[in-house]
Amino acid sequence: MSKKSRSKLWFLVHSWLALPIWFFVLIVCVTGTLAVVSQEIVWLANPDIRASKPSDDAEPLTYDQVIGAIKRAEPQVIVESLSRPDESHFALSANLSYPDGRSLEVYVNPYTGVIQGISPAFNFQAFTRALHGWWLVPFTNGYSWGWYLVSLLGLPLLASLVTGLVVYKRFWKGFFKPTLRFNHGARIFWGDFHRLSGIWSIWFIAVISITGTWFLIEATLSDNQITLSSEPIVPAIARDKVPMSATGVPAPMIPLDEAISIATQRIPGLEASFVSLPSNAYSHLRIGGRGWYPLMFQTAEINPYNGEIAVSHLLSDRSALEFVTESMRPLHTGDFGGLWIKLIWAFFGLVLSMMVLSGLLIWTKRTALATLNALKREAKASRQPAKTQVLQAETTEGNQ
């Protein structure tokens, strides 16, 4: 095969990867971009989720103080879990169980313990994630087919990156000589745009496509009951370790702050950015947070009656493979280092969405041009009745 026809072939492959499914890819990119900053969008829209400081020298409350404040405001509710978001401008998130049977996330001021608001029935964050992640297809038996549908896109995305770089000869020159021609018509502009944003997004497209493909692998493994996890299965607290109480009321548990300090003293480096309270008399208190490696969490399960650490799952317990596989999700979502990383992810998500659109525009404009040429030739051909082949001029890009 000649060099020229090979590059034509690569070019055709590059165009065909996304073209027949461009709208699906576009919506997945746009919803993914929204999902990255969904928490921030809610922060802008809903004052309840903001952590406003009552005074400049206000100190954040401890978990026990927060629970105490919630109990004073709503004596009947049961706190199920608490979490401190990574960014200090967000209110604490608490899951509360109400006597009417509702189980709701509420936003609690970290300095005063005031319940600022109840999460609305429409959870924008969860909705954009569900739309992006599994196209809203419900999970009934293992992973939903929507999950497979979306995560399959990792493969054409990766192939688009590779073929794009093959087709775009000496693409590295584009870094030193950025070209974006505004005055040569839409076709030239979108072509320049597609190439320019493409080379600057190489790292991002690689990250998103590889992690996206991982989601496909993850679902396939899970649906075939294969696990790579070293996470221990936590047995219930032994019957004789749960105190009886002659009075017939629940046995006292140690204060949450005490449990946290016991655990963090025994396990250096363990942080408690979230706590789940025991979900029955025989289950543990679970605390967890990020360790030195910001992409993964460490957790410990604590006996709530005596403070004993039943099991812990630390960075040092993870296999090398787990460091790779567990990093995939945060790398995909960009939620591992605060607001700036999210904004960078959202920006490149937008660029990626624009690449789908510009790719489509290039195609349609080129096809329109080719059709126009074909019609001209057709007009000629009707004067000279010879069979002419037309519509071949679709791969000019590959020859540039």
Partner 1 sequence: MNKAMTVQPPSPLRAFWLKWRFHINILLLLVPLGFMPKYFADAALFRGDSGLGEREVGEVQVGPWSLKLAELRNEPPRPDPAGPMKSFNAALCATCIDQVKATYLRIGKPRSLRAAGVIFFGTPYRMGAMLPIPERTPLDADVWITMEGWDGAIHQAYIPLSQASPATIDWLKKRGVKP
Among 55, 225, 265, 384, binds partner 1 (CB under 8 A): 225
Count the neighbouring beta carbons within 10 Å of the beta carbon of residue 249.
7
Does 80 help bind partner 1 (rule: CB under 8 A)? yes
Q: Which stretch binds partner 1 (CB under 8 A): 83-91, 128-136, 163-171, 262-270?
A: 128-136
138 binds partner 1 (CB under 8 A): yes
Count of residues in contact with partner 1, rule CB under 8 A: 63
- Closest of 214, 220, 167, 172 to residue 362, by C-alpha: 167
Binding residue for partner 1, selected from 1, 75, 233, 248, defined by CB under 8 A? 248
Report angle CA 251, 254, 259 to the nearest 5 degrees.
145
List 5, 388, 396, 400, residue binding partner 1 (CB under 8 A): 388
The answer to whether 74 contacts partner 1 (rule: CB under 8 A) is: no
Contact at 8 Å (CB) between 113 and 68? yes
Distance CA 370, CA 390 (A): 9
CB of 363 to partner 1, least distance (A): 8
146 lies in the binding site for partner 1 (CB under 8 A): yes
- Virtual torsion, Cα 313, 318, 324, 325, nearest 10 deg: -50
The rounded distance, in Å, linking the Cα atoms of 259 and 310 is 12
Torsion sign over Cα 348, 19, 156, 224: positive
By the rule CB under 8 A, 135 interacts with partner 1: yes
When asked if residue 46 is in the footprint of partner 1 (CB under 8 A), the reply is no
Minimum separation from the CB atom of position 170 to partner 1 (A): 28
- The residue from 56, 75, 121, 384 that contacts partner 1 (CB under 8 A) is 121
Question: Quick check: 227 binds partner 1 (CB under 8 A)?
Answer: no
**Residue 128 interacting with partner 1 (CB under 8 A):** no
Q: What is the distance between the alpha carbons of residues 172 and 199, in angstroms, rounded to a whole number?
A: 8
* Residue whose CB is less far from partner 1, 5 or 316: 5
Give the full edge-to-edge strand order of the sheet including 309-313.
Answer: 115-118, 103-108, 92-97, 78-83, 274-276, 285-290, 297-302, 309-313
Q: Does 250 bind partner 1 (CB under 8 A)?
A: yes
Q: Does the protein bind partner 1 through residue 17 (CB under 8 A)?
A: no
Any residues with CB less than 8 A from the CB of 322 and at least 6 apart, and which? 228, 229, 230
- Contact characters 279-318, partner 1, x per CB under 8 A: xxxxx-----------------------------------
State how far the Cα of 167 lies from the Cα of 13, in Å rounded to an integer: 10
Q: Judged by CB under 8 A, does residue 103 bind partner 1?
A: yes
d(CA 71, CA 63): 12
Out of 61, 66, 131, 272, the only residue in the binding site for partner 1 (CB under 8 A) is 131
Compute the radius of gyration of the chain from its Cα atoms.
Answer: 28
| Nearest one of 75, 77, 112 to 91, comparing CA atoms | 112
Does 175 sit near partner 1 (CB under 8 A)?
no
Can you tell me which of 126, 180, 186, 221 binds partner 1, judged by CB under 8 A? 126
Q: Which is nearer to partner 1, 126 or 372 (CB)?
A: 126
Residues that bind partner 1 (CB under 8 A): 12, 19-24, 27, 78, 80, 97-104, 121-123, 126-127, 130-131, 135-138, 140-141, 146, 149, 225, 236, 239, 242, 244-251, 279-283, 360, 363, 377-378, 381-382, 387-392, 394
